[in-house]
């Protein structure tokens, strides 16, 4: 499954990658979000910073607007940040929509692999509360665990 678009550094999107805002008007230009400017740091360590980014991403996706999320100047990214900023989108919107509208740019190969791993974990974790309770009960009732 394609989770999001990946562009090489400084690539500009073509008009075909821009999305219509749903009103029949000409497409809005992609929203460019520079993480280092929003969190005012080269380190994305806390989920609260992820929430800040998520708010911008969520608004753009509600408008069916393309997004270029830039990791320029970002040295460190932790899972909590990724889960709150990008992973949370997959719980609110259809993965196909996120993949079509979200473009992640200016990452290192290591950062991209890490982002993909965290988002994949978000997509595969149980969402159904009943299912979670059933799994937890099965684990707690199993005498061979612990």
Please check the confidence at residue 24 and state whether its pLDDT lies above 60.
no
Question: What local confidence, expressed as pLDDT, does residue 18 receive?
Answer: 39
Report pLDDT for 4. 59
Is 144's pLDDT higher than 70?
no
pLDDT band at 19 (very low <50, low <70, confident <90, very high): very low
Count other Cβ atoms within 10 Å, centred on residue 44.
Answer: 25
How far apart (Å, rounded) are the C-alpha atoms in residues 138 and 45? 34
Residue of higher predicted confidence among 141 and 24: 141
**67-70 vs 31-34, strand pairing mode:** parallel
Q: What is the pLDDT of residues 79-101, one digit of tens each?
A: 999 999 999 999 899 999 999 99
Question: What are φ and ψ of residue 44, in 5° steps?
Answer: -105, 90
Q: Which residue has the higher pLDDT, 133 or 115?
A: 115
Residues 135 and 141: beta-carbon distance below 8 Å: no
38 C-beta neighbours (distance < 10 Å), count: 15
Summarize pLDDT for 29-45 with one digit per residue, the tens. 899 999 999 999 999 99
């Amino acid at each position: 499954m394609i989770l999001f678009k990946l562009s090489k550094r400084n690539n500009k999107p073509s008009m075909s990658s821009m999305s219509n805002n749903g009103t029949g008007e000409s497409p809005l230009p992609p929203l460019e979000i520079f993480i280092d400017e929003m969190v005012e740091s080269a380190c994305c360590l806390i989920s609260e910073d992820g929430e800040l980014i998520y708010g911008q991403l969520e608004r753009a996706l509600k408008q069916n607007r393309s997004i270029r999320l830039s990791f320029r100047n970002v040295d460190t990214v932790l899972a909590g940040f990724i889960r709150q900023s990008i992973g949370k989108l997959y719980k609110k919107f259809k993965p196909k929509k996120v993949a079509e509208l979200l473009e992640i740019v200016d990452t290192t190969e290591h950062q991209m692999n890490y982002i993909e791993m965290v988002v994949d974990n978000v997509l595969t974790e149980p969402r159904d509360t009943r299912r979670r309770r059933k799994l937890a009960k099965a684990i707690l009732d199993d005498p061979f665990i612990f």
